[in-house]
């Protein structure tokens, strides 16, 4: 979620040669380092900075959501310059790579296989983190966190201690979880309100009613251009049925279970949602929608951003996704069509009133620290400052990270985060930070909501009971390591073939048998063994 969104929804929502500065020491921000003489010194980023600047190396992906202006890059921008000026930390990128088709993960695996050195600090998302941890090249971070993390950061982490579970080995912590907001990826249904009005339709409350609406959006010329060029639903299947935006998890939820994750079953055991019997009915419905032309035939190749862009470009009337989509990427709609109106609605129910949606985890990746990094406290000085100020929306970060980028003071003297007020356009500076979004306190997501966004929040919270979090939060089990990729490939190929009518919906039953025989049954036992130990 963008900081702009939160401002929109909240206000719209060491190294050698270091010297100690004057002023009262801040307990929460204190970190220690060594001078050339080996003497311990105190560093207080609220009063001082590393002088001369201390270098911290990193590597990162340039994600599609990142935008730049004034000739800036990820390596040299308003944030990296602020870090050097304010904290005396020189962030240097060993390498960056455009993050398309998981290229960042692929690059990390190639670096690992080639035995090349990793940077001091490495923020990562996805399953590649486990390969990196198991490589033995990154240090245990639990003691570092206890020693150097600020009180506000520790308090935020205490919201849900299970965020550490995926990164633990033999009771030790090998990566620092990157915290996210509560409900950050829980979906609502975004619908073109102007299309509903043009066609005299009411918003759907059930999947059957949604089918009727999508039929009208596909065949009823909702944009009035006298051309059959619109779809009912914007959805992407490239990264599976359960992802972070424009996915299909909620459709499966209407039949009893969320796919691609481990849910608590009737007997209290964890069950893999993609082999739940209700998934067959969900696939049959998606197959029907594809046959009728309500979904683009290209959805097989759409990732989350591409699918959402189909909606934002005015070519589809329904998309599911988080509440922050209002600002990105759907905020682009009115620039293309000033008459476009979108509204957030509840996830529609399936047979018997069933409703379930993906529930958001409180972590959005993790930070690894290289064993060879001499002064890991550098990263804590950086992140502590963000937690103590940016996460609190206080001081110099009251309105955003950088004036003229994510906020501006208008000629009338008012602070604004409205993109139209910012010369050169809005830039989400938080995307430049080492932890993707700056610093987030999970429960702060709903802080200071502006009146215009209250209805959206009410829609989201009205179905809070339908949110189903992935209950397996440990590292990969032994059989996952051996068979996990094979089973994921089997699942993806089977689901796609059913949706595109290359296989009948009944082929789902053969898939579930194969899944269990090829390792799924053993994985289920291992997952529940872990669950019994931690619940």
Q: What is the pLDDT of residue 215?
A: 99
Helix or strand run (H / E) with residue 514: helix 507-515
The partner residues of 409 in beta bridges, in order of sequence, read 415
Question: For residue 240, what are the CA distances in angstroms to 185, 476, 490?
Answer: 15, 19, 12
Q: What is the pLDDT of residue 47?
A: 53
Strand stretches in 380-523, DSSP E: 408-409, 415-416, 467-468
Residue with tokens 């207080």: 44
Show the 3-state SS of 312-364. Answer: HCCCEEEEEECHHHHCCCHHHHHHHCCCCCEEEECCCECHHHCCCEECCCCEE
Structure tokens at 285: 């419905």
Residues 300-320: pLDDT tens digits? 999 999 999 999 999 999 999
Under the banding of pLDDT at 50, 70 and 90, the label for residue 7 is very low
Supply the DSSP string of 206-222, one letter for each residue.
Answer: BHHHHHHHHHHHHHS-T
User: What DSSP character marks residue 290?
Assistant: H
Residue 19 clears pLDDT 50, i.e. is over it: no
Are residues 390 and 397 in contact, defined by beta-carbon separation less than 8 angstroms?
A: yes
Q: What is the pLDDT of residue 43?
A: 53
The residues spanned by each domain of the chain are: 14-183+362-441+453-459, 188-358
DSSP-based three-state secondary structure for 521: helix
DSSP-based three-state secondary structure for 42: strand
Residues 453-502: pLDDT tens digits? 899 999 999 999 999 999 999 889 999 999 999 999 999 999 999 999 99
What is the β-pairing status of strands 357-358 and 270-272? unpaired
Structure tokens at 468: 């189903």
Residues 315-367: pLDDT tens digits? 999 999 999 999 889 988 888 899 999 999 999 999 999 999 999 999 999 99
Under the banding of pLDDT at 50, 70 and 90, the label for residue 31 is very low
Q: What is the pLDDT of residue 49?
A: 87
Are residues 82 and 389 in contact, defined by beta-carbon separation less than 8 angstroms?
A: no
CATH tag, 188-358: 3.40.190.10
Residues 247-272: pLDDT tens digits? 999 999 999 999 999 999 989 999 99
For residues 245 and 5, give the distance between their C-alpha atoms in angstroms, rounded to a whole number.
15
Model pTM score: 0.84
Q: What is the pLDDT of residue 445?
A: 83
Q: What is the pLDDT of residue 24?
A: 33
Lowest mean pLDDT among 33-37, 219-223, 521-525: 33-37
Supply the DSSP string of 79-137, one letter for each residue.
Answer: HHHHHHHHH-EEEEEEEEEE-STTHHHHHHHHHHHHTPPPPSEEEE-STHHHHHHHTT-
Are residues 146 and 161 in contact, defined by beta-carbon separation less than 8 angstroms?
A: no
Residue 13 clears pLDDT 90, i.e. is over it: no
Under the banding of pLDDT at 50, 70 and 90, the label for residue 429 is very high
For residues 523 and 510, give the distance between their C-alpha atoms in angstroms, rounded to a whole number.
18
Residue with tokens 């009035």: 224
What is the β-pairing status of strands 172-173 and 168-169? antiparallel
Residues 431-447: pLDDT tens digits? 999 999 999 999 998 77
Are residues 218 and 294 in contact, defined by beta-carbon separation less than 8 angstroms?
A: yes
Nearest to 406 by CA among 435, 379, 443, 432: 432
Backbone angles phi, psi at 462, to 5 degrees: -65, -20
Q: What is the pLDDT of residue 313?
A: 97
Backbone angles phi, psi at 295, to 5 degrees: -120, 140
Are residues 272 and 512 in contact, defined by beta-carbon separation less than 8 angstroms?
A: no
Residues 126-170: pLDDT tens digits? 899 999 999 999 999 999 999 999 999 999 999 999 999 999 999
For residues 122 and 45, give the distance between their C-alpha atoms in angstroms, rounded to a whole number.
22
Name the superfamily (CATH) of residues 14-183+362-441+453-459: Periplasmic binding protein-like II (3.40.190.10)
Under the banding of pLDDT at 50, 70 and 90, the label for residue 6 is very low
Residues 377-423: pLDDT tens digits? 999 999 999 999 999 988 899 999 999 999 999 999 999 888 889 99
Fold agreement between 14-183+362-441+453-459 and 188-358: yes
Residue 281 clears pLDDT 70, i.e. is over it: yes
Residue 22 clears pLDDT 70, i.e. is over it: no
| Other C-beta atoms lying within 10 Å of the C-beta of residue 534 | 11
Q: What is the pLDDT of residue 72?
A: 97
């Amino acid at each position: 979620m963008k900081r702009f969104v939160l401002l929109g929804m909240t206000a719209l929502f060491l190294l050698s040669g270091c010297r100690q500065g004057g002023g009262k020491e801040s307990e929460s921000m204190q970190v220690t380092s060594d001078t050339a003489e080996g003497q311990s010194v105190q560093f207080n980023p609220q009063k001082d900075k590393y002088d001369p600047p201390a270098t911290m190396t990193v590597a990162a992906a340039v994600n599609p959501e990142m935008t730049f202006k004034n000739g800036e890059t990820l390596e040299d921008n308003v944030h990296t310059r602020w870090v050097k000026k304010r904290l005396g930390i020189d962030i240097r990128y060993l390498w960056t790579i455009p993050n398309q088709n998981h290229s960042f993960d692929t690059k990390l695996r190639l670096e690992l296989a080639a035995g090349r050195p990793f940077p001091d600090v490495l923020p990562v998302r996805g399953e590649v983190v486990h390969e990196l941890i198991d490589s033995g090249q990154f240090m245990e971070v639990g003691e570092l966190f206890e020693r150097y993390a600020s009180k506000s950061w520790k308090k935020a982490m205490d919201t849900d201690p299970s965020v550490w579970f995926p990164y633990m080995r033999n009771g030790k912590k090998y990566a620092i979880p990157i915290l996210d907001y509560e409900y950050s990826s829980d979906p609502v249904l975004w619908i073109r309100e102007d299309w509903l009005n043009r066609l005299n339709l009411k918003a759907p409350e059930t999947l059957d009613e949604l089918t009727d609406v999508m039929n009208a959006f596909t065949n009823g010329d909702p944009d009035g251009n006298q051309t059959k060029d619109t779809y009912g639903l914007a959805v992407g299947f490239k990264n599976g049925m359960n992802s972070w935006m424009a996915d299909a998890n909620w459709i499966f939820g209407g039949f009893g279970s969320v796919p691609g994750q481990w849910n608590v079953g009737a007997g209290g055991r964890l069950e893999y949602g993609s082999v739940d019997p209700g998934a067959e009915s969900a696939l049959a419905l998606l197959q029907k929608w594809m046959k009728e032309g309500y979904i683009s035939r290209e959805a097989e190749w759409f990732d989350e951003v591409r699918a959402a862009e189909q909606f934002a470009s005015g070519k589809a009337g329904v998309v599911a996704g988080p509440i922050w989509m209002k600002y990105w990427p759907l905020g682009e709609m009115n620039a293309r069509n000033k008459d476009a109106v979108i509204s957030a609605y509840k996830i529609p129910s399936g047979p018997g009133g069933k409703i379930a949606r993906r529930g958001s985890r409180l972590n959005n990746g993790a930070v690894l620290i290289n064993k060879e990094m001499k002064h890991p406290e550098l990263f804590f000085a950086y992140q502590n400052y963000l937690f103590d100020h940016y996460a609190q929306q206080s001081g110099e970060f009251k309105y955003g990270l950088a004036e003229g980028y994510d906020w501006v003071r208008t000629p009338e003297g008012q602070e604004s985060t409205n993109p139209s007020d910012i010369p050169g356009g809005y830039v989400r500076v938080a995307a430049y930070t080492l932890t993707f979004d700056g610093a987030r306190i999970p429960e702060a997501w709903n802080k200071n909501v502006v009146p215009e966004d209250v209805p959206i929040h009410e829609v989201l919270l009205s179905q809070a009971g339908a949110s189903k979090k992935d209950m397996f939060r440990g590292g990969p089990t032994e059989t996952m390591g051996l068979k996990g990729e094979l089973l994921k490939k089997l699942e993806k190929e089977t689901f796609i073939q059913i949706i595109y009518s290359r296989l009948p919906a009944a082929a789902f039953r053969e898939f579930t048998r194969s899944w269990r025989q090829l390792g799924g049954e053993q994985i289920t036992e291992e997952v529940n063994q872990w669950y019994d130990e931690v619940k």
